[in-house]
Structure 1
Amino acid sequence: MVKVLLLITSAVLIILSLLQSGKSEGFTGAFSGSKGLDLFSNSKERGAEKVISNLTLVTGVLYFALVIIAILGQ
C-alpha cells in the first residue's frame, strides 16, 4: 500500500514541478553569467503560482515521509 502511495505522490510531484513557472532565463542563462539562478532572491509569488508552490512543498514533504515509512517497513 505504501508503494502505491509513493508512486502516486511521485507522479503528482513531477506534474506540480513541471507546472511551476521558470524563475530564470533557462539553461543558457545559467552559464552565460547573466542574472539567472539567483538562489537567495525574494520572489513574490501570487495567486496560482503561490498555490502551486505550496502544493509542491507539501507533496515533497509527503513524499519524503512515505520514503522513510517504506524504508522502516522493510
Structure 2
Amino acid sequence: MLLANASTGSIVVFTFEILMMVVSIMMIVIGLFQNKKSQTGLSALNGGNEELFSNSKERGMDKVLSIWMLSLGIAFFVITLVVCIVTNTVLA
C-alpha cells in the first residue's frame, strides 16, 4: 500500500515539474518580447535614472505582457510550493 502511494506521489511530482518547466519557458519567451525602453542596469551603475519622475504608463502590448509575466510568476511560485509540499509529505 505504501509503495503504491509513493508511486502515485512521484507521478504527481513529475507532472508538476513538467508544468513548472513549461511555465518557465513561457516566462523566458515573454521576457524576450517585452519592451526594453530604459537601460535600468546601466543607469543603476551610473547612479542616474532619467525616467524616475516621468509619467509613463504601460499600454497595449506592454501591459498585456506585463500582466502575463506577473501571472506566470505567481503560478510558478504556487507550483513550486505544491511540489515541495508533495515531496515532503507523500514521498517522505
With the length of structure 2 as denominator, give the TM-score of the two structures: 0.67
Query: Which segment drifts farther, 28-37 or 56-65?
Result: 28-37
Determine which of 21, 28, 32 is the counterpart of 1:14.
28
Cα separation, 2, equivalents of 1:51 and 1:65 = 21
Tell me what 1:32 maps to. Answer: 46
Which has the larger Rg? 2
Structure with greater contact order relative to length (CA < 8 Å, sep ≥ 6): 2
Tell me what 1:47 maps to. Answer: 60
Task: Give unpaired runs (5+ residues) of structure 2.
Answer: 1-14, 88-92
Structure with the largest fraction of helix: 2
Alignment length, in residue pairs? 73
Cα separation, 2, equivalents of 1:21 and 1:32 = 21
Q: CA deviation at 1:73?
A: 0.8
CA contact (8 A) 2:40 2:49 kept: no
With the length of structure 1 as denominator, give the TM-score of the two structures: 0.80
* Alpha-carbon RMSD: 2.3
